[in-house]
Amino acid sequence: MSPRKQTSSRTGKSPKHSFSVRRARPADREAILEMSKHIWGGHDYMPLVWDRWLAEKKGALLTVTVDGRPVGTSKVSLLAPGEVWLEGLRLHPDHHGLGLSKRIHRATFREAAKLNPRTVRYSTWIGNEASRRIAEKNDFWQIARTGWMWGKIGKLSPVSGRRAAADELDTVVRFVRRSSCYEATNGVAGVGWTFPELTRRRIRHLLSLGRVVVLPRRGAFRAVAMFDIGKIDDDVCLGFIDGPDEDVTVLAKDILRIAADTGRDEASAMLPMGRIADLVHAAGFDEWRPIRAVVYELGARGFSGEDEPFEDVLSRTLRLNESDILDLVTELLVDRAPVGLARENVRDFITRNLIPDTDRQLVGTVEGFFLALRTDTLRSILRGTIEHLHTRHGLAGDALTATDRVVRVRHRGKRLASVRARATSLHLTLGPGFGPCFPPDLKVGASETRFDAGTLDRASGCYESLTLVLTEKSHIKGATRAIDIIMKSAAARR
Ligand SMILES: CC(C)(COP(=O)(O)OP(=O)(O)OC[C@H]1O[C@@H](n2cnc3c(N)ncnc32)[C@H](O)[C@@H]1OP(=O)(O)O)[C@@H](O)C(=O)NCCC(=O)NCCS
């Protein structure tokens, strides 16, 4: 969690060292615990878990070695069938900054894949830049932001809630699924820095251990709290709580009481930031300000885009709706600002600071090409074509690259279009790669339509690619029609 340090040992390191990641062995213990003294100012929990992790039958504890010497670890755990949890990523600071995390990650994923995962998750401190970067580069997306809190047990009143009974499972599950706490964490609940899914099965397990405390109301519940015992600190950890404010406060105090009854002098909580964390903090979990944890999950939830990444779909959607989004955010900020502000100024602020001004980027990207064009007519045709790609199909920003000779447009990782300049015309090439969509009798406004014979699909009689020669402003319509055809074909192939 400590900031990255640029130590001299790093820069002086010879690239010839041999590096490997293998299953951990009992003999690694000493070197790994020595390494762990250099992590987080000596507050690493590795000494508390090494023996248990090594003995675990499911998942894998990996050791990272440099020239055969153990210098790091990575742990793959199975929280429930199909629910893989990554943890214990460590590397001796002498080897930080060499990009070794990539190789550790690859080995970790090979182990994770063996567990037939339905989901892979991990959590980290919000300020752990290396760890967050690794998540973001490897298609993990944040599902929750929580606050880690501790409360000392002082003078306490008796417990107000009661332990829910095993036959109340349905009522508890119903309460949980409708709660804002569940929604805010996307269905996971923290116990320490591990976040298992709050499934029916897990709730049943917690009920059987007497770890669900409720405040009843006529056959239902006003409020519910759930805790578990942390494997690292052996702490009572409050991982779920919800209900009206005053009931949350009551139940949070109950959890401290329960911790006291088990001989502990403090309890922890890992809860969503906002109302819940604020209430629990105020109820006595106030040893420090909540430490923020982020929970990452592999892949974007419920996203079934086959050949287009989640980011691309979303950024295209953002670009397509930029104007509406700008209006909405402007409205919200103007409404909530403590002083009166002019809408247009607020809108400008947003495009400078929050949402990229795609129109501006668009013009910037093709500027060299645009200026190199010989006539105003060609400039108008270019503008019309590019604007259509942006406003109708959301293709702008990273999708567009340009030199002063050619503009290229990519879609779903493939080249969709290119525009080349001649002295008195623009040549717009569309496809191939998005399906045979141009019938041979296609008539679009252009001074010439050249089908690419090599892309003829005999079954449909259509071509995957064509080039339009554009010389007049009226040809913008032809260009936009051909673009619509190929985009429709691309969408149909998803
Ligand atoms: C996590 C850890 C194993 C990563 O190893 P590392 O050698 O520092 O990582 P790498 O050099 O491979 O860098 C990984 C990425 O993070 C980036 N990064 C690392 N430190 C960063 C920082 N302080 N700020 C921004 N980016 C940072 C790197 O640039 C790299 O991204 P890139 O490939 O796009 O350039 C190591 O930092 C470590 O042991 N930290 C202490 C224990 C820990 O925090 N474990 C994770 C617990 S969840």
pLDDT in tens, 76-104: 999 999 999 999 999 999 999 988 999 99
Output the CA torsion sign for 298, 41, 11, 103.
negative
Overall average pLDDT of the 300-321 stretch: 84
CA distance 469 to 355: 36
Whether 8 has a pLDDT exceeding 80, the answer reads no
Whether 162 has a pLDDT exceeding 90, the answer reads yes
* 231 close to 199: Cβ distance less than 8 angstroms: no
**Strands 119-125 and 83-91, bridge-based pairing:** parallel
Confidence of residue 464 (pLDDT cuts 50, 70, 90): very high
The more confidently predicted of residues 1 and 54 is 54
Please state whether the peptide bond connecting residue 216 to the residue before it is cis, i.e. omega within 30 degrees of 0: no
CA distance 253 to 151: 9
**How far does the centroid of ligand 1 lie from the alpha carbon of residue 307, in Å?**
29
Overall average pLDDT of the 172-197 stretch: 97
| Ligand 1 pocket, mutate which of 66, 131, 132, 195 (most atoms under 8 A from CB) | 131
| Ligand 1 pocket, mutate which of 133, 140, 195, 291 (most atoms under 8 A from CB) | 133
Instruction: Please check whether the domain covering 8-117 is classified as CATH 3.40.630.30.
Output: yes
Token pair for 61: 């504890």
Confidence of residue 156 (pLDDT cuts 50, 70, 90): confident
**How far does the centroid of ligand 1 lie from the alpha carbon of residue 456, in Å?**
49
pLDDT cut 90: percent of the chain above it: 85
From the list 363, 362, 421, the residue with the least C-alpha distance to 395 is 362
Residue 493: per-residue pLDDT? 76
Q: By alpha-carbon position, which residue is closest to atom 8 of ligand 1?
A: 96
Residue 312: per-residue pLDDT? 86
Residue 4: per-residue pLDDT? 28
From the list 48, 101, 112, the residue with the least C-alpha distance to 72 is 101
Backbone angles phi, psi at 40, to 5 degrees: 50, 50
Which atom of ligand 1 lies at the shortest distance from residue 90's CA?
Answer: 39
Residue 420: per-residue pLDDT? 97
Residue 276: per-residue pLDDT? 97
What does pTM read for this prediction? 0.86
| Ligand 1 pocket, mutate which of 96, 106, 142 (most atoms under 8 A from CB) | 96
CA distance 294 to 272: 10
Residue 15: per-residue pLDDT? 57
The more confidently predicted of residues 311 and 275 is 275
Neighbour count for residue 482 (Cβ, 10 Å): 25
* 63 close to 31: Cβ distance less than 8 angstroms: no
Token pair for 189: 């609940």
Output the CA torsion sign for 369, 370, 373, 379.
positive
Residue 481: per-residue pLDDT? 97
Residue 155: per-residue pLDDT? 78
Whether 205 has a pLDDT exceeding 90, the answer reads yes
**How far does the centroid of ligand 1 lie from the alpha carbon of residue 95, in Å?**
10
Overall average pLDDT of the 41-59 stretch: 95
* 468 close to 475: Cβ distance less than 8 angstroms: yes
Which atom of ligand 1 lies at the shortest distance from residue 123's CA?
Answer: 48
Overall average pLDDT of the 265-271 stretch: 97
**How far does the centroid of ligand 1 lie from the alpha carbon of residue 237, in Å?**
29
Which residues lie below 8 Å from residue 69, measured CB to CB, with a gap of 6+? 31
CA distance 95 to 178: 46
Q: By alpha-carbon position, which residue is closest to atom 28 of ligand 1?
A: 130
Domain ranges of the chain: 8-117, 146-298, 305-356, 357-492
Residue 119: per-residue pLDDT? 97
Residue 9: per-residue pLDDT? 39
**How far does the centroid of ligand 1 lie from the alpha carbon of residue 243, in Å?**
39
CA distance 331 to 304: 33
Query: Could you tell me which residues are beta bridge partners of residue 269?
Result: 149, 238
The more confidently predicted of residues 301 and 276 is 276
* 330 close to 366: Cβ distance less than 8 angstroms: no
Overall average pLDDT of the 353-373 stretch: 91
Residue 204: per-residue pLDDT? 98
For residue 151, the SS3 value is strand
Residue 374: per-residue pLDDT? 92
Q: Give the lowest-confidence range in 246-250, 411-415, 421-425.
A: 411-415
Q: Where are the alpha helices (DSSP H) in 340-417?
A: 343-353, 358-365, 367-372, 376-393
Query: Could you tell me which residues are beta bridge partners of residue 254?
Result: none
**How far does the centroid of ligand 1 lie from the alpha carbon of residue 88, in Å?**
14
| Ligand 1 pocket, mutate which of 1, 4, 139 (most atoms under 8 A from CB) | 4
- Judged on CB neighbours under 10 Å (0-12, 13-18, 19+), 191 is buried
Overall average pLDDT of the 167-175 stretch: 97
Which residues lie below 8 Å from residue 31, measured CB to CB, with a gap of 6+? 69, 70, 71
* 33 close to 42: Cβ distance less than 8 angstroms: no
**How far does the centroid of ligand 1 lie from the alpha carbon of residue 412, in Å?**
29
pLDDT tens digit sequence for 429-448 = 999 999 999 999 999 999 99
Q: Give the lowest-confidence range in 93-107, 181-195, 238-252, 295-309.
A: 295-309
Residue showing tokens 């349905």: 170
Whether 428 has a pLDDT exceeding 80, the answer reads yes
Residue 250: per-residue pLDDT? 96
For residue 294, the SS3 value is strand
- Judged on CB neighbours under 10 Å (0-12, 13-18, 19+), 142 is middle
Which atom of ligand 1 lies at the shortest distance from residue 95's CA?
Answer: 7
Domain 357-492 fold is Aspartate Aminotransferase, domain 1 (3.90.1150)
Which atom of ligand 1 lies at the shortest distance from residue 92's CA?
Answer: 39
pLDDT tens digit sequence for 311-348 = 888 988 998 899 999 999 999 999 999 999 999 999 99
Overall average pLDDT of the 264-286 stretch: 97
Q: By alpha-carbon position, which residue is closest to atom 21 of ligand 1?
A: 130
Token pair for 187: 């269905």
Which atom of ligand 1 lies at the shortest distance from residue 40's CA?
Answer: 41
CA distance 84 to 201: 16
Residue 397: per-residue pLDDT? 82
Domain 146-298 fold is Aminopeptidase (3.40.630)
- Judged on CB neighbours under 10 Å (0-12, 13-18, 19+), 76 is buried
Which residues lie below 8 Å from residue 237, measured CB to CB, with a gap of 6+? 190, 191, 192, 227, 228, 229, 230, 267, 268, 269, 270
Confidence of residue 406 (pLDDT cuts 50, 70, 90): very high
Token pair for 192: 């320490």
Token pair for 159: 């417990």
Which atom of ligand 1 lies at the shortest distance from residue 125's CA?
Answer: 48
Residue 494: per-residue pLDDT? 65
* 240 close to 144: Cβ distance less than 8 angstroms: no
**How far does the centroid of ligand 1 lie from the alpha carbon of residue 133, in Å?**
7
Fold match between 8-117 and 357-492?
no
Q: Give the lowest-confidence range in 145-154, 301-310, 477-486.
A: 301-310
Mean pLDDT of the chain: 93
pLDDT tens digit sequence for 15-40 = 578 999 999 999 999 999 999 999 99
Overall average pLDDT of the 406-428 stretch: 95
Which residues does ligand 1 sit against, CB inside 6 Å? Answer: 1, 3-4, 39, 89-91, 96-102, 124, 128-131, 133-134, 137
pLDDT tens digit sequence for 103-117 = 999 999 999 999 999
Q: Give the lowest-confidence range in 213-217, 306-310, 409-413.
A: 306-310
| Ligand 1 pocket, mutate which of 134, 136, 295 (most atoms under 8 A from CB) | 134
